[in-house]
């Protein structure tokens, strides 16, 4: 019996096996495309622009000490620095930064990429704060400056007078006030030790602390930096010759601990016995009267060789110097004439 021509296997469509292969290939291509899209999205999320700052050009985030990776990611997302804490956590794990993130205060620029944010935290690029102690600040002023700095924590005792080196000091939010104060005191010790080792051999004092006392008097006697060596030389010459220092700032310190009196020194204060009245006592006062800067310390440890013993204000903010009392008396008369002609600060004369 004739069955007719045989039907081709391919004429009725693909075989089940082939269809499976084609479908698997299509699915694989789709998955590959999806994977590429996912990788591209992840790369863009990591390296592309981040969110715009909610206000201004940057966002400040404080990451507390001991915070874990999840807490850090949540804080960044909450602040609007990253779009997704989950992607941040994954990025930290993949890049190996997860165990290297550092606590502190950070400022992130608006639209900073996640890569930049992660790199900043990994390398501890925290916000740096600064506190400046001006030359001539007293110990109480130093303590007040530390106390009023809101970014610091803890308490710091009032340091001994003259124990701090006036300068600008860097710190991070959350640093301890006592630790910052110790750095200020250590800086003074280092400067003093260095300058003391190079001191002039014929100085009329024998200890580094005595040098600080005299340097503090020099610091308070003139606001003109170039005058410090000459003022130091005057006081060194006076001590060597047995003359009293007769320094107005020492009297003021004995009255108010260095706070401005808001008036001139009274005659009764000039003649009143006090450990700080250098018109009445011989030699140096018992302590420094302020914190002298490096230049004042250097000036008393290596003053110029002069014969000058006196100085008085010259009406321009500086002083005029003299080697003899007669010359000094004439300078005082000129100063008093200037005072009568035009109001001026109280003269710092050495009668």
* Residue 250 C-alpha from the chain's centroid: 29
Confidence of residue 19 (pLDDT cuts 50, 70, 90): low
The C-alpha atoms of residue 98 and residue 192 are separated, in whole angstroms, by 45
State the chain's maximal CA–CA distance in angstroms: 155
Q: What is the pLDDT of residues 244-267, one digit of tens each?
A: 999 999 999 999 998 988 888 899
Q: How far apart are CA 166 and CA 144, in angstroms?
A: 14
Please report, in angstroms and rounded to a whole number, the separation of the first and last CA atoms in the chain.
150
Is there a contact between 287 and 324 (Cβ–Cβ < 8 Å)? no
pLDDT of the residue at 165: 98
Asked if 50 and 114 touch (Cβ cutoff 8 Å), the reply is yes
- Which tokens go with 42? 């992840």
Structure tokens that stand for 227 in this block: 């005058």
Single pTM value for the model: 0.79
> In the prediction, which pLDDT does 41 show?
56
**pLDDT tens, position by position, 184-240:** 999 999 999 999 999 999 999 999 999 999 999 999 999 899 999 999 999 999 999
Buried b (16+ CB within 10 A) or exposed e, 87-108: bbbbbbeeeebbeebebbbbeb
d(CA 232, CA 59) in angstroms, rounded, equals 50
Higher pLDDT, 12 or 198: 198
Percent of the chain with pLDDT over 90: 74
Calpha distance 202→215 (Å, rounded): 16
């Amino acid at each position: 019996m004739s069955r007719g021509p045989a039907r081709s296997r391919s004429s009725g469509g693909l075989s089940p096996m082939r269809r499976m292969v084609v479908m698997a290939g299509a699915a694989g291509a789709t998955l590959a495309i999806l994977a590429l899209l996912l990788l591209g999205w992840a790369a863009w999320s990591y390296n592309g622009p981040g969110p715009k700052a909610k206000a201004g050009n940057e966002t400040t985030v404080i990451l507390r000490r001991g915070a874990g990776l999840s807490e850090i990611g949540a804080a960044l997302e909450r602040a609007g620095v990253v779009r997704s804490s989950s992607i941040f956590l994954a990025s930290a794990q993949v890049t190996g930064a997860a165990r290297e993130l550092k606590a502190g205060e950070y400022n992130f620029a608006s639209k900073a990429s996640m890569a930049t944010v992660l790199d900043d935290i990994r390398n501890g690029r925290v916000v740096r704060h600064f506190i400046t102690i001006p030359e001539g600040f007293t110990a109480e002023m130093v303590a007040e400056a530390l106390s009023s700095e809101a970014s610091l924590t803890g308490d710091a005792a009032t340091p001994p007078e003259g124990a701090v080196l006036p300068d600008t000091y860097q710190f991070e939010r959350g640093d301890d006030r006592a630790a910052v104060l110790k750095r200020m005191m250590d800086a003074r010790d280092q400067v003093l030790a260095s300058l003391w080792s190079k001191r002039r051999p014929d100085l009329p004092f024998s200890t580094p602390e005595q040098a600080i006392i005299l340097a503090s008097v020099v610091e308070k006697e003139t606001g003109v930096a170039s005058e410090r060596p000459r003022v130091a030389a005057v006081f060194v010459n006076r001590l060597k010759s047995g003359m009293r220092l007769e320094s107005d700032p020492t009297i003021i310190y004995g009255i108010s601990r260095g706070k401005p009196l808001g008036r001139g020194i009274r005659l009764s204060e000039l003649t009143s016995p006090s450990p700080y009245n250098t018109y009445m006592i011989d030699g140096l006062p018992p302590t420094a009267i302020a914190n002298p800067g490096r230049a004042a310390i250097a000036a008393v440890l290596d003053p110029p060789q002069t014969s000058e013993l006196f100085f008085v204000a010259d009406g321009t903010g500086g002083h005029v110097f003299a080697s003899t009392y007669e010359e000094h008396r004439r300078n005082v008369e000129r100063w008093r004439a200037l005072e009568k002609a035009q109001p001026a600060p109280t003269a710092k004369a050495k009668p």
